[in-house]
Amino acid sequence: MVLKRVVGLMMGCLGMSCLRIADQPTRPAPSECDSPSSSDMIESGDLKEIKSSSSSSSGRIKLSDGRYLAYKERGVPRNESNYRVIIVHGFASNKEMNFMATQKLMGELGIYLLQFDRAGYGDSDPNPKRSLKSEASDIQELADQLQLGSKFYLVGVSIGSYPTWSCIKNIPERLAGVALVVPFVNYRWPSLPHGLIQDDYRKKLSQFAVWVCRHTPGLLHWWLTQKMFPSSSVLDRNPKIFSNKDLEVLKNTPGYQLLCKSKLKEEPIFDSLRKDVIVAFEKWDFDPLNLTHPFGQQSQCRLHIWQGYEDKVVPVELQRYVWKRLPWIKYHEVPDGGHLLVYDSDVCEAMLRSLLLGEDHPLYKPKFDSN
């Protein structure tokens, strides 16, 4: 069924909700469907702080357009940190995604980690005017209100790479370094060679996904929320979507499903997710493959791409082409890695050490690189 394939693309190829996120294995994780109660919120001007009994803390900021953006802080306290890193989650994920950076590593390097709900996700308000620029603006306002300083590090995961590309284009002066982790590739980037993508079935599926989201939202909404058929069964450990390493992660990672049907029934939430797909896959106002070095040739700031060699969601050939087209990118390839690289603590440690310290693990050097 074509619609089933489209759902598979949207949910699987965009790094979506079939993935159960590890929280604390010894106790059930809270459902995303449950918003913080008023008794758990502390008002402080335009900043709302959510009380937390764990080592992390959560809160919400009020943006200039009146929307609220929710966040979660991890690692060392902000005012004691050496490095301030913002994580940009993928489609239908949220600030609770378990980026597998250990507390030991964050303490050793002095890392302050900021995870936030993009517009319309988790506890953040939807943005009916979502665009490439609005995503970058949200990140900049978040950094400013939390006083991260003149520069910060950015890690974009899967479809979270499109807000990250927007930051590279629109606010490069604010970035101390960037890592794109299994970033999706928009098949409408003009510079992608026809010969590279003409036989890639994902190209047609992405085009059809946008068409469905734009022209038949009612049908898509019904499919995702109905109970007669298992709409997500196409993703359940499907070897056509997930690599062997991904399947191992799905099997062994406890937790909960991030996107629940009761949330999808809410029209603002559904519309927000639908527009996320449209903005990501429709024509952009710039071509990333035509960017010059955004930080300057003499800058120590680098842009990194981390790709799993076995990734079935975003083909390794596409990422290699991006790297060849933009030689100022530092490209890393995980030999047995799939699309779920952020659930490997060793890979996450290597990502952070490379991004923050310039330490590159030889295991993740591209196989064909003879230098």
What is the per-residue pLDDT for 213? 82
What is the per-residue pLDDT for 95? 93
* pLDDT, tens digit (0-9, with 9 covering 90-100), for 152-162: 999 999 999 99
pLDDT cut 70: percent of the chain above it: 73
- Other CB atoms within 10 Å distance of the CB of residue 128: 12
Question: Could you give the domains of the chain?
Answer: 2-23+45-364 (3.40.50.1820)
Q: What's the maximum distance between 2 C-alpha atoms anywhere in the chain?
A: 59
Q: If you average pLDDT over residues 245-260, what whole number do you get?
A: 65
Backbone angles phi, psi at 178, to 5 degrees: -140, 140
> Quick check: 81 pLDDT over 90?
yes
Residue predicted with more confidence, 207 or 157: 157
> Quick check: 79 pLDDT over 70?
yes
pTM of structure = 0.82
DSSP state at residue 65? T
Q: What distance in Å separates the CA atoms of residue 285 and residue 189, rounded to the nearest whole number?
A: 10
Distance of CA 211 to the CA centre of its chain: 23
